[in-house]
Amino acid sequence: METNNSTLSALEPLLSIEDLAEYLDVPVTTIRDWRTDGKGPCAIKVGGRVRFATSDVMAWLLRQRETEPGHGPSGG
């Protein structure tokens, strides 16, 4: 099987919306709202169900980190 840089070279855990909501300690509706608003982590649709690759969640979380205490990722 051939792979390239745009495909997963190894399987990684996928989180459901419920798993992600529990991990982040937010309601499932918040995750759905973030998806609608384009604010949350990128997702993968598998069989019509939304899943989140742990690497995408971690990358998204790093982008949410404050640049310094009390200052958001964009400095404001």
Domain ranges of the chain: 14-64
User: 36: buried, middle or exposed (CB in 10 Å: 19+, 13-18, 0-12)?
Assistant: exposed
* pLDDT in the model for residue 3: 46
pLDDT per residue over 11-43, tens digit each?
889 999 999 999 999 999 999 999 999 999 999
* pLDDT in the model for residue 58: 96
Placement of tokens 């998204």 in the chain: 60
Name which residue leads in pLDDT, 39 or 10.
39
Name which residue leads in pLDDT, 70 or 25.
25
- State yes or no: pLDDT of 76 exceeds 90: no
